[in-house]
A and B are shown apart, each in its own frame.
Chain A
Amino acid sequence: MNSKFLQLDLRSSPHVKRPVTVEVIMRNVVYALIPVSVFAVYAFGISALAVILTTTVFSILTEYIMVKVDGREITINDYSAAITGILLGLTLPPGFPLWMAALGGIISIALGKYLFGGLGFNIYNPALVGRGFLQAAFPVSITTWHPAFNENRFSEFFSSNLAAPFLKPTVEAVSGATPLAALKFEQKATDAFSLMFGKTDGSLGETGGIIILLCGIYLAVRKMLDWRIPVSIFAVVIIFSTIFNMINPEKFPSALFMLFSGGLMLGAVFMATDMVTSPVTKRGTYIYGILIGLLIVIIRIWGGLPEGVMFAILFSNGLVPVINILTKSRVYGTKK
C-alpha cells in the first residue's frame, strides 16, 4: 500500500476546478473566427487569404520574438496572438498591400500588447491598435476598397496587394465604395439583405454579418463570450437608428443597415468582447456596451467618418478601468 502513496497529491483547497482554461477559451475563439475568415476568402479570393495569413503570421512571430527577448515562458499556445492577427486581417481591405499588413501585425503585438506588459495587461484591443496605426500611416490604402465576388478572385491578387514596401501602391480603377461611404458621401443606401449576406464591398470581415453573428452565438452559448456587450451595443444602435430613421428616412439609415454595415458586427461580437480590455463587473459590461453603441451612432451620424466602430471601442477600452471602479460592488457585510 505504501509505495502507491508516494504518488499522492498534496494541495491546498479548492481541490477541484472548472475545466475551462484560457487555452480552451482562446482556441474556441479561433474556431469561431475560422468561418468568418473562410467567408472573407470566398468573397474576396486569394487576396483575402494573403492578407489574413500575413497579419496572423506576423502577429505570432512578433509575440514569439518579444517573449524570447523578454526571457518569459512561450505564450504562443494560448492562441491570443493568433486571434489578434486574424482580427486585424479582417479589418483590412482585401487589396491591402501585404507589407503594410505585416507591419500592422507587428505593431498590434509590440505596441498594443507588449508595451503594456503582455497578455492580460493591455488596456486597448491590440488588433485595433494595429488597425489604428495603419489608418493613420496609410490613410489611402486602408480606404481603397475592392468589389467582392470578382471573377478572377481565386486566380489573381489585387495588384495593390503586392506593392513593394514604402512605394505608393497604384490605386486601382475598379475600386468600389463601401455601403457606409456610399451612404455618407453619395446618399446611396445598400439594401440590408446584401449587407447581411456579404454581397457588398468592404474590409474582409465587414461583410457576412450573419456568419459573424452565428459564430458569436456559438461562443456566447459556450460561455466564452459575454453576450451582454454585443447585446447592449445592438440595443443602443437599434433604438437610436430607428428613432432617426423615423424622423428622416432619406438621410438616416434603418437599424438593420446600421447593424450589418461597416465593422459593427465584427467589432461588437469579436473586438468589444475581448476579455482583457472589457470590464470585469456585469453592470460594467452593460455600461461599456451602451457607451460603445452611443459612440458608434454619434460618430456615424454626426462625425466626419462613416465608420466609427474602431474609435468607439478604443475609446471605451480606455474607460474600462474607470468603469470597473464605478461599478465595484459593495462588499458583503459592509455599508459601502
Chain B
Amino acid sequence: MGTFKHGIHPPEKKEISGDKKIRRFPFSPYLIILLSQHIGRPAKPIVKEGQEVVRGQKIAEADGFVSVPMHSPATGVIKKVGTSLDFDGKMTPSIVIEPYPGSEQSVQTGQDVNVDALKPEEIVKAVQEMGMVGLGGAAFPTHVKFSPPKDKPIRTLIINGAECEPYLTSDYRVMLEQAKRILRGTKIVLKALKAEEAIIGIEDNKKDAAQVLKDTIAIDDSAVNFIKVELLKTKYPQGAEKMLTKALVNKEIPSGGLPADIGVIVSNIATVSEIGELMPKGQGLIERVVTLSGKGIDNPGNYLVPLGTPLEFVLEQAGINDKARQIIFGGPMMGKSAAYLEVPITKGTSGIVVLSEDEVIPRNQKVYPCIRCGECVNVCPLYLNPSRLGILARNDEYDKMAEEFNLNDCFECGSCAYVCPSNIPLTQYFRIAKKVLREGRKRKESMVGTPEA
C-alpha cells in the first residue's frame, strides 16, 4: 500500500456525514457569484443589471489565460453587477442573481459535444470554457494545470481520492455515486495530457469507494489497462501533491518545482468527475458537492450546492445549533475560518465544518516554550525542522528561516502545530513569515524595479 513518511492521525470524523447520499440543496433567495473565486485574474462580467439569465448561461468571461468564466447557477434575474465581501473581508467584483422561485431550474444551455473528436488542445480549451478549477480547495484553473511546459511530457495522471482532511466526505460520496463520470473524465484528461496512465489514489478508510471504481474500470476494455486504483494508508496529509507522488510513483517533486517536473499531473477526483459529466454536455460548472459537518449543525450531509449560495443560508438549512463555535470553509487542518455570514460558496469550497465547543481548540490556550520533544520534527511530511523554524520565527529571523531551513517548502499542512505539546502555533508562524517575506520582496521589487524590466 502506498504511503509517505511521517504525518499524523487526527480523529477522522468521517462517520458524521460519510453515509449520507449527495442531495440537492435548495436555492437561496439570492446568489453571490464572486468573479475571483479562482487563482488568477477575475472574470469579466458580460451581463447587465436587470437582465434575465437562464441556468448554465455564461455571465462572465475569462480575462486572459490564467482566468476562467462563470456561469449562472440559476434561472433568474441579475440584481447587481458590482462588488461583494470576499472571504478576507475585502470588497471584490461580483454578480448577484435572484433566482426565479417558480422556475424548474433545469439547465437550458449547452450543446452536446463529441469529446472523442476533440484534439488535446481543444479539450484544454473546453476545460477553461466550462470554468473548471481544482475542486479540492486550491481553486487553481484546471486548464492551466493541464498545460504543462512543452519540454515536460506527462507520463502519469494522479487522481486524488485520498480526502485526508478530517470531517470531509464529499469526494468519498462522489466516488461512490459518480464512478462512471469519473471514468469518463479520466479518459478525457488522459487524452488532453497525452499521458500514458492514470492512478486513482484512495485512502484505505474508503475501501468501498475504491472497490466501486475498480469494478467500473474492470468492465471497460478501453480503460482497464491504463487506469489503476491504488489504496493509500490513511494518514494526514496523504492527499497533498508531494505525498501522492511519493506514495504512488515513488518520486519527489523537486523543491520549488511542479509535479510536471517529474512527469506527473495531480488532479482532484471531483474535478475529474465534473469534467466527465459536463464536457460531453457542453455545460459550465454551476454547482458542486459540499460536505456539511461538525457538531455545530443538526443536519450534516453531502449536498449539491449552487455556487454563490451565501453561508448564512447554508447554515440555516443545515440547522446550525447553539453549540456552534467556529465555522470552517474546507477541512479543519487547512481550511479557513469564516468571519462573515455573507460570504458565498465558491468553486473551491469542499466542505463547511461547524465545530462545537468541545471540538475547537480551547481559547487562550497557554503557549509554553519549545521543550524540544521532537514531535514536530517527526511528523513534518517534508522533513523540515518546525521546532527550529518556530524559534527563528519568534525572533523574526525570517530570512534565515527561508535561506537555511527551507521555509518556502512548507505547505502549511498543520501537522506540526497539531502535535506540538507546547501549543506553539507553528504553522501560523510560518504562514506569517512567508507572507512577510513575500511582501518584502514585492516592496523591494517595486522600489528597484524587477531586473528583467
Which A residues fall within an 8 A CB radius of B? 1, 4-5, 7-18, 20-25, 75, 78, 118-121, 226, 275-282, 285, 328-334
Which residues of A sit under 8 angstroms from B325, Cβ to Cβ?
7-9
Whether B374 pairs with A275 at a CB distance below 8 angstroms is: yes
Closest to A21 in B: B421
Q: How far is the CA of A75 from the CA of B377 in the complex (A)?
A: 25
Q: How far is the CB of A274 from chain B (nearest CB, A)?
A: 9
Whether B423 pairs with A17 at a CB distance below 8 angstroms is: yes
Report if B268 contacts A (CB, 8 A): no
Report if B197 contacts A (CB, 8 A): no
Q: How far is the CA of A329 from the CA of B8 in the complex (A)?
A: 18
Whether B324 pairs with A4 at a CB distance below 8 angstroms is: yes
Whether B361 pairs with A331 at a CB distance below 8 angstroms is: no
B33-41, B113-121, B182-190, B247-255: which lies at the interface:
B247-255
Whether A13 pairs with B336 at a CB distance below 8 angstroms is: yes
Whether B372 pairs with A280 at a CB distance below 8 angstroms is: yes
Whether B414 pairs with A13 at a CB distance below 8 angstroms is: yes
A-B contact pairs, 16 of them (CB 8 A): A8-B326, A11-B326, A12-B337, A14-B334, A15-B333, A15-B355, A17-B417, A18-B10, A20-B421, A21-B423, A22-B421, A280-B377, A328-B385, A331-B406, A332-B382, A333-B242
With contacts A9-B326, A15-B332, A333-B255 taken as known, whether A120 is within 8 angstroms of B372 at the C-beta atoms is yes
Report if B428 contacts A (CB, 8 A): yes
Which residues of B sit under 8 angstroms from A281, Cβ to Cβ?
374, 377-378
With contacts A282-B378, A333-B253 taken as known, whether A18 is within 8 angstroms of B414 at the C-beta atoms is no
Closest to B245 in A: A333
* Cross-chain contact of B255 among A22, A276, A329, A332 (Cβ < 8 A): A332
Closest to B359 in A: A16
Closest to A11 in B: B337
Whether A13 pairs with B333 at a CB distance below 8 angstroms is: yes
Report if B276 contacts A (CB, 8 A): no
Which residues of B sit under 8 angstroms from A23, Cβ to Cβ?
366, 368
Which residues of A sit under 8 angstroms from B417, Cβ to Cβ?
14, 17
Closest to B242 in A: A332
Range of interface residues on B (Cβ < 8 Å): 35 or more
Q: Name, among A11, A15, A277, A285, the residue most crowded by chain B CB atoms within 10 Å (CB to CB).
A: A15
Which residues of A sit under 8 angstroms from B328, Cβ to Cβ?
13, 15
Whether A18 pairs with B419 at a CB distance below 8 angstroms is: yes
Tally of A-B Cβ pairs under 8 angstroms: 162
Report if B370 contacts A (CB, 8 A): yes
Closest to A279 in B: B374
* Cross-chain contact of B254 among A14, A278, A285, A333 (Cβ < 8 A): A333
* Cross-chain contact of A332 among B315, B374, B409, B425 (Cβ < 8 A): B409
With contacts A275-B373, A331-B383 taken as known, whether A13 is within 8 angstroms of B253 at the C-beta atoms is no
Instruction: Enumerate B215-267 residues with CB–CB distance to A below 8 Å.
Output: 242, 246, 252-257
* Cross-chain contact of A119 among B371, B374, B428 (Cβ < 8 A): B371
Which B residues fall within an 8 A CB radius of A? 8, 10-11, 166, 242, 246, 252-257, 312, 315-316, 320, 322, 324-328, 332-339, 341, 355, 359-361, 363, 365-366, 368-374, 377-378, 381-385, 387, 406, 409, 412, 414-415, 417-419, 421-423, 425, 427-428, 431
Whether A16 pairs with B332 at a CB distance below 8 angstroms is: yes
Which residues of B sit under 8 angstroms from A285, Cβ to Cβ?
374
Whether A15 pairs with B383 at a CB distance below 8 angstroms is: no
The 5 closest A-B pairs by CB, nearest first: A14-B414, A280-B374, A120-B369, A329-B383, A333-B255
Known: A9-B360, A15-B360. 10 other contacts (CB 8 A): A16-B355, A21-B423, A22-B368, A25-B421, A118-B369, A280-B373, A282-B374, A331-B255, A333-B252, A333-B409
Q: How far is the CA of A280 from the CA of B416 in the complex (A)?
A: 13
Q: How far is the CA of A9 from the CA of B359 in the complex (A)?
A: 12
Whether A276 pairs with B371 at a CB distance below 8 angstroms is: yes
Q: How far is the CB of A12 from chain B (nearest CB, A)?
A: 5
Which residues of A sit under 8 angstroms from B369, Cβ to Cβ?
118-121
Closest to B386 in A: A280
Whether A332 pairs with B421 at a CB distance below 8 angstroms is: no
Q: How far is the CA of A158 from the CA of B372 in the complex (A)?
A: 40
Q: How far is the CA of A13 from the CA of B387 in the complex (A)?
A: 18
Closest to B383 in A: A329
Q: How far is the CA of A20 from the CA of B368 in the complex (A)?
A: 13
Closest to B167 in A: A16
Whether A16 pairs with B10 at a CB distance below 8 angstroms is: yes
Which residues of A sit under 8 angstroms from B254, Cβ to Cβ?
333-334
Q: How far is the CA of A285 from the CA of B372 in the complex (A)?
A: 12
Whether A331 pairs with B422 at a CB distance below 8 angstroms is: no
Q: How far is the CA of A282 from the CA of B6 in the complex (A)?
A: 11
